[in-house]
Amino acid sequence: MTTTSVEKVNGTPMTSPEPRFDPVALAEAEAIRERAAAEARALELEAQGKADAAKITATEEAERLRIANVRARMKLEKDRVSHDRYVAEQNRKTAEENAAARKAEKAEAEEAEQEAAAAAEQQRSENLWKWGARGIYIVGLIIAAPVQFLHFWDKARPFLIAAPALLEGLALVLAAGAAWAVAHRRDVLPYRIGIMFGALIAAGINMYGGLSDERIGFNAGLIGTIASLGGPIVLMAYEHGIAQKADGVPSFRERRAEEKKRKAEEAQQAKDAADKAAAAAKKKADEDTARLRAAEEQARKDADRKQDHPEVWAVADSLRSARGSQYVTEQIWAEAWYRVTGSKVVGVDPALESTSRAAQARMKVATDVPIIGDFSLVESQKAPRPKRDPNAVDKRRFNGGTPPRRTPGDTPPYSAAAKKQAALEQAASPATNEV
């Protein structure tokens, strides 16, 4: 093979034209420029991305700090509110405690004041009663002594002038002895008997003197008798009250209040006893009613079981008799049912169990068998093959243009529905051939 070149044109030698640019160099330069531009653009994008990322990071950090500050401020406000509430609660409790303490102190002061006033009144009345009784005794002595002096005055026997002092002094000394017995918590009855004996003697002498002696007269004798009796009686009454107080004997008012309180307690106890008896009677009636209803229900159960399940009832009644039970309990009935039918579920016998299992099998077949016909979803034996990526490497390139050899596992497995469908069609094919 030869090549032809043109050396001359119209007799003029041709010279090779000089190219003004190199395409390869131009392409390389263009490539370098584009690569530099791309790198610059990439660096610019990277810088822009870093700036945006830094901006986003700064924004997120600022937002995080803002949220943290908000949460810290909210927590601080919550703590402040909780502290204020705690302080207010403590102040309230302190105020209540102070108010209760002041109220208690005021109540104690009022009670102490009342007790002091009562004690002062008791002391005043006791002093009044004591000096009043002694005053009456002295007045009676002043009245009765002259009557007795006139009655016992005798010039031939002047020593009898001391008889009034003996009679009136006897009662006075015995009254002092009674006071001593009260103070020392001794028996005061003998002194009281002695006081009344001496007072009666003095009163009798005064009355006799008033009736027999014209110098005395009836009026003086009568008032002398009253004076001889009244003074010792009043003084003895005073000593009697002091003795009761010292011995802790309750007064009539205290006895009446105690009796009233006792009657109220007895009435409350009677009411409580009546309420308790009524509650017990109601509880017993409820228990009797419940027992009667339980007996009726047990009788109904026994009648139904005996009528509808005679074989089980015979075993249950035998177990009841052997165990000494009054009724056929639920436990005995369940055990008898198991012994007779073999089922641990009361009410389920072999016939019912077989019918139930057959129904369950039919329901399982109806729910598991695929639909056959126009609405069937099982039209293919294989699952759909996924589409191949057009950019994927062709595996047949190095196999001479032929498909690769198939190996186990290349083909997707048949679906369970397809297998059941094939089995059903195979089972139905002989019948179709016979027809």
Mean of the per-residue pLDDT values of the chain: 77
What is the model's pLDDT at position 283? 92
Higher pLDDT, 347 or 38: 347
Q: Is residue 378 part of a domain?
A: no
Q: Is residue 69 part of a domain?
A: yes
The C-alpha torsion from 295 through 301 and 302 to 304, rounded to 10°, is: 140
- The DSSP H or E segment spanning 9 is strand 8-9
Same domain, 239 and 176: yes
Q: Is residue 286 part of a domain?
A: no
For residue 185 the two structure tokens come to 């918590």
What is the model's pLDDT at position 199? 79
Same domain, 66 and 137: no
Residue 8 backbone phi and psi in degrees, to 5? -130, 155
Same domain, 59 and 155: no
Q: Is residue 200 part of a domain?
A: yes
Domain endpoint, select from 206, 221, 248: 248
What is the model's pLDDT at position 7? 53
The domain in which residue 91 lies consists of 37-95
240-249 per-position pLDDT tens digit: 777 777 666 6
Same domain, 134 and 242: yes
Same domain, 233 and 315: no
What is the model's pLDDT at position 124? 82
Q: Is 61 left (phi over 0), alpha (psi -120 to 50) or beta?
A: alpha
Count: domains in the chain: 3
Higher pLDDT, 351 or 164: 351
Same domain, 88 and 130: no
Q: Which residues, in sequence order, are CB contacts of 218 under 8 Å at separation 6+?
A: 210, 211
Res 362 pLDDT > 80: yes
Return the minimum-mean-pLDDT range out of 1-15, 20-34, 394-408: 1-15
Same domain, 87 and 133: no
Same domain, 304 and 234: no
b (16+ CB within 10 A) / e for 13-47: eeeeeeeeeeeeeeeeeeeeeeeeeeeeeeeeeee
DSSP readout, 67-126?
HHHHHHHHHHHHHHHHHHHHHHHHHHHHHHHHHHHHHHHHHHHHHHHHHHHHHHHHHHHH
Q: Is residue 273 part of a domain?
A: no
Res 380 pLDDT > 50: no
Domain endpoint, select from 248, 269, 291: 248
Q: Is residue 394 part of a domain?
A: no
What is the model's pLDDT at position 3? 45
Same domain, 140 and 80: no
What is the model's pLDDT at position 394? 57
Higher pLDDT, 340 or 225: 340
Return the minimum-mean-pLDDT range out of 215-219, 326-330, 363-367, 375-379: 375-379
For residue 131 the two structure tokens come to 């000096």
- What whole-number percentage of the chain has pLDDT above 90? 3
Res 431 pLDDT > 50: no
Q: Is residue 80 part of a domain?
A: yes
